Structures are given as structure tokens and as C-alpha cells.
């Protein structure tokens, strides 16, 4: 009998230890759940994270099974605001508790974002109550998301600037522009809707470069929006673009740093793009050295990558990699195969623009007044020639 009593006492001690262990690891210190001693994260085959309460009692499961609305369930999941968010109120996560194979799970309506912190709490009058568990969604591999630069890269912009590019180091989540980007003038006043509102944000295929368009109606002279609301950027003034932290990447990991760029506004740029003034530095034959083209003035860095191409002497397009400097003054083309000696062409699409919308041979303002869209269809591409010298 003494052996049996010793065995029973040992089992009770073991159960007590296990209960204390789980409550310490999975439940926030100081919070004791009435009928659940454990929460944990579970990643399903599709990669989505769910919250699991595997030891919920039968009574709790029946309560959930008969609930008509997720809001009647006494637990809720809330997002904890990050350091860069001024409002520290817990944000409810849309989703519902479900019972599957005798397990109680919380399935979010939208996937949990990696790197963010959440809490399971009691719900009192629709708001977060006592905390039952505090957790953070694991982050995936790769670098932390970061805004690398804003183009045009210089500190001086023309008053009639049309496009701004944001370059990130990782593919980013969409739908954040209106919440994350503001422009302030010298007095600290926020500009109201400086960018054109579109149904879909303008991202490159990789999701790393975002194009922002200033409202053309307030950039072009003589148009009603500009007459009523004024120009967006005024010459002689300074403005600061602020990109707030917390912008999530495609994994859900948020940026941590605030990005600011202060620029001075110069008079409008009304000089058309002039390819004949470009300086060409040809490569050597039988090499894969880049062809280097230096512009006499800045071109739009996003458009130039699409609208400048290379042709061989037989007018066959060459396949290769194009790149452009951040200031929009140097363009390079590196072929996939070695250069053949002889005559080659640089073909420039007439729609090539500078950051202010001036096209090849057409100032932005004159183009608007003379029906430039129909004229552009009759204009042929500009061709520049260069010779690849045979190797000695």
C-alpha cells in the first residue's frame, strides 16, 4: 500500500508540475484562464497560422458550438500596436473560433502578418479584457523590409514634377499608400491629396518599386483643378516627404524606420528630351561589357528602362539587362551574348519622358495644348548609331 500511495503522490506532483509549466510558458504571467491552461500557434499546410486551445474543456467547446456569433465567445484576439503607432489601443483581429476534431481554433479572416505581436484576451462589452496569452507571429527568412530611396534622387525637383518612385529592398504589401505617405510644407502643413488617387497602386512586377503620380490637373497650366486648388509644388519653397514606419512587406513584416526626404522646388522644367545630345560609350567586340549612354539631362528612371532598346546591324533586337543610375543621367545595357563587331542602333521610343513629362522633341505644356496624343502616334522612334570596334 505504501508503494501505491507513493506512486499516487508522484503522479499528482507530476501533474502539478506540468500544469505550472504550461501556464508559465503559454499564459501571460498573472493571468489565469478558468478552463484553459494552454494556447499555442499552429501552422497549417497552406502556411497560415492559427491559434489553438487544445485543452479547452468540453463545456467550453459546447458553448462555442451553440454560439450564433463569434462575438458571443468570451475570448478575442487583438493586435498590439507597434512602436511607431501613436494609438496604443489593441486592435481586434477579424476572425472566428471554430471546433475541428475536438480542437478549438481561432482562424483569422486574413492571414496573421509575420513579425507582429498579438494577444488572446477575455472580451468584455466587445473590448479587450484580461490578457490570457501574448504572442508574436514568427518571421520568415530574408532581410528586414526597408525603403531604400526616393527618386528623383536629387534634393532639387522642378515644380512640374509628375512622378515619384519609392524603391524598397523587398516585395511590399499593397494598399498602404494613403496611410504611410505624407508631404508637408515649410510650415509643417500637410498637403491634401497631392497624388492622383487610383483604383490600383502602381507597382513593378517584383513589388519593390512604387510609382506615385502627382495629380496632372494641378501640374499642367490652365487646367481647372490647378486654378481652383493651386499648384502642388511651388518654386522657391521646401517640402518634406515622410514615409511612416509599419509598412508591411509581402510576408507581413513591417518596416521599423521613418524615412524623410526634404526637397527644394525649382522653376518648371519645359525642355524636351533630346537624344541627339546624348554621349555614347561603345563596348569592345567579343566582350559582354556594358554599352554606356550618358544623358544631357535627367530622364524618368522608370520609363527609360522600357523605352530604350538596342538593335544589331540587321535591326534585330538584342536581349540583355538594362539599368539606370538613380539620378537618371546614365543608362547601361549589358548583353546576354558577346557583342559582334559592326554597326548597332539605340532605338528611343518617342514616349520617353523626363520626370516632368517632357517627351522626345515635345515640351510637356505644348504637347497638352496641341493634341499631342494624336501627334505621338505618327512620330517614329529616334535611332542613334554606334560602332562596336573589332578586337585587335
Task: Express each pLDDT in 70-125 by its tens digit.
Answer: 445 688 999 999 877 888 889 999 998 888 877 888 999 888 888 889 999 988 87
* CATH code of the domain covering residue 236: 2.60.40.1220
pLDDT digits (tens, 9 = 90+) for 325-346: 999 999 999 999 999 999 999 9
Domain end call among 136, 156, 185? 136
| Model confidence pLDDT, tens digit, residues 259-292 | 999 999 999 999 999 999 999 999 999 999 999 9
Question: Grid coordinates in use for 10?
Answer: 508522484
Domain end marker among 75, 104, 136: 136
Q: What domain range includes position 94?
A: 2-136
Asked if 88 and 174 sit in the same domain, the reply is: no
**Pair 225, 334 in one domain:** no
Range from 26-40, 214-228, 231-245 carrying the lowest mean pLDDT: 26-40
Is the pLDDT at 17 greater than 80? The verdict is no
Torsion angles phi and psi, residue 5, rounded to 5: -60, -40
The helix/strand/coil state of 280 is strand
pLDDT (0 to 100) of residue 366: 64
Give yes or no: residues 205 and 185 share one domain. yes
Residues 122 and 248 in one domain: no
Q: Please state, in angstroms and rounded to a whole number, the distance separating the CA atoms of residues 291 and 20.
A: 69
Q: Which residues of 174-193 are buried (b: 16+ CB within 10 A; e: fewer)?
A: eebbeebbebbeeeeeeeee
Determine the Cα–Cα distance for residues 204 and 211; give it in Å rounded to an integer.
8
Residues with Cβ < 8 Å from 94, sequence gap 6 or more? Answer: 108, 109, 110
Q: What is the pLDDT of residue 126?
A: 76
For residues 128 and 35, state if they share a domain. Answer: yes
Work out how many domains the chain is built from and give that number: 3
Amino acid at each position: 500500500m505504501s508503494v501505491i500511495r507513493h506512486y499516487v503522490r508522484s503522479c499528482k506532483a507530476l501533474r502539478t508540475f506540468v500544469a505550472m509549466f504550461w501556464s508559465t510558458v503559454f499564459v501571460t504571467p498573472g493571468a489565469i484562464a478558468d478552463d484553459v491552461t494552454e494556447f499555442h500557434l499552429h501552422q497549417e499546410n497552406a502556411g497560415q497560422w492559427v491559434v489553438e486551445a487544445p485543452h479547452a474543456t468540453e463545456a467550453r467547446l459546447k458553448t462555442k458550438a451553440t454560439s450564433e456569433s463569434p462575438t458571443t465567445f468570451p475570448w478575442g484576439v487583438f493586435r498590439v500596436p507597434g512602436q511607431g503607432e501613436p494609438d496604443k489601443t489593441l486592435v481586434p483581429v477579424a476572425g472566428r473560433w471554430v471546433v475541428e476534431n475536438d480542437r478549438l481554433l481561432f482562424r483569422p479572416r486574413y492571414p496573421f502578418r509575420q513579425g507582429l505581436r498579438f494577444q488572446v484576451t477575455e472580451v468584455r462589452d466587445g473590448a479587450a479584457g484580461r490578457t490570457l496569452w501574448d504572442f508574436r507571429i514568427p518571421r520568415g527568412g530574408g532581410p528586414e523590409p526597408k525603403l531604400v530611396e526616393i527618386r528623383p534622387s536629387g534634393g532639387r525637383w522642378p515644380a512640374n514634377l509628375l512622378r515619384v518612385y519609392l524603391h524598397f529592398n523587398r516585395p511590399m504589401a499593397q494598399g498602404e499608400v494613403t496611410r504611410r505617405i505624407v508631404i508637408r510644407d515649410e510650415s509643417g502643413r500637410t498637403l491634401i491629396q497631392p497624388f492622383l488617387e487610383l483604383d490600383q497602386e502602381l507597382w513593378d512586377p517584383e513589388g519593390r518599386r512604387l510609382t506615385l503620380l502627382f495629380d496632372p490637373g494641378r501640374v499642367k497650366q490652365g487646367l481647372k483643378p490647378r486654378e481652383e486648388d493651386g499648384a502642388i509644388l511651388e518654386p522657391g519653397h521646401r517640402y518634406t516627404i515622410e514615409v511612416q514606419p509599419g509598412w508591411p512587406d509581402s510576408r507581413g513584416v513591417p518596416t521599423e524606420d521613418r524615412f524623410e526626404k526634404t526637397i527644394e522646388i525649382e522653376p518648371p522644367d519645359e525642355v524636351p528630351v533630346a537624344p541627339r545630345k546624348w554621349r555614347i560609350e561603345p563596348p569592345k567586340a567579343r566582350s559582354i561589357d556594358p554599352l554606356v549612354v550618358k544623358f544631357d539631362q535627367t530622364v524618368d528612371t522608370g520609363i527609360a528602362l522600357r523605352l530604350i532598346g538596342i538593335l544589331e546591324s540587321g535591326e534585330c533586337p538584342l536581349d540583355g539587362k538594362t539599368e539606370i543610375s538613380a539620378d537618371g543621367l546614365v543608362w547601361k545595357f549589358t548583353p546576354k551574348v558577346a557583342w559582334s563587331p559592326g554597326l548597332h542602333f539605340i532605338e528611343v521610343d518617342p514616349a520617353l519622358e523626363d520626370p516632368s513629362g517632357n517627351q522626345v522633341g515635345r515640351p510637356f505644356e505644348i504637347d497638352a495644348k496641341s493634341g499631342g496624343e494624336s501627334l505621338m502616334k505618327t512620330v517614329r522612334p529616334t535611332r542613334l548609331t554606334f560602332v562596336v570596334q573589332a578586337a585587335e
